[in-house]
Amino acid sequence: GAGVSQSPSNKVTEKGKDVELRCDPISGHTALYWYRQSLGQGLEFLIYFQGNSAPDKSGLPSDRFSAERTGGSVSTLTIQRTQQEDSAVYLCASSLAVEQFFGPGTRLTVL
C-alpha cells in the first residue's frame, strides 16, 4: 500500500518568507509526528497528533512554527518568517502503535 508522502520534496525560500510543508500519512494511522533533521541538531521531535486529542507541541522550537491536522489525516507544518537556522530536512511519520513509518522528507533551504 501507499506509504507516507510529503510535499514538496525540496523547498528553497528566502529569509523572512513563510513556508508550508505537507504530510499525507498512511490511511488509517491515528498518530502523526513531525521531526526535523539538521546537521547541527540531529533528529529532533517537533509535534505529535493523536486522533482528536490536542497535539503535543512540546518540540516546536519557536512560535514561528505551527502545525495542523485536518480531518485526522493530512497535516501541514507552517514556518513563518523563516530564518537560515530553519534549513533542515523535515520528516513526517505516522503510526497505529509502536512502529512509526516515515516519509521521504522535505528538504528546506532558507537563503
Q: Which of 13, 59, 64, 72 binds another protein (CB under 8 A)?
A: 59
Pairing of strands 5-7, 19-24: antiparallel
Q: Under the criterion CB under 8 A, does residue 30 sit at the interface with another protein?
A: no
Q: Under the criterion CB under 8 A, does residue 56 sit at the interface with another protein?
A: yes
Q: Is 92 exposed, middle or buried (0-12, 13-18, 19+ CB in 10 A)?
A: buried
Task: Supply the minimum distance, in Å, between the C-beta of residue 45 and another protein.
Answer: 5
Q: Under the criterion CB under 8 A, does residue 65 sit at the interface with another protein?
A: no
Measured from the Cβ of residue 26, the count of other Cβ atoms closer than 10 Å reads 18
Q: Is 63 exposed, middle or buried (0-12, 13-18, 19+ CB in 10 A)?
A: exposed
Q: Which of 21, 26, 33, 65 binds another protein (CB under 8 A)?
A: 33
Locate cell 510543508: which residue?
A: 21
Q: Which of 25, 48, 67, 108 binds another protein (CB under 8 A)?
A: 48
Q: Under the criterion CB under 8 A, does residue 25 sit at the interface with another protein?
A: no
Q: Under the criterion CB under 8 A, does residue 38 sit at the interface with another protein?
A: no
d(CA 28, CA 78) in angstroms, rounded, equals 24
Residues forming contacts to another protein in the complex (CB under 8 A) are 4, 31, 33, 35, 42-45, 48, 50, 56, 59, 91, 93, 95, 97-105
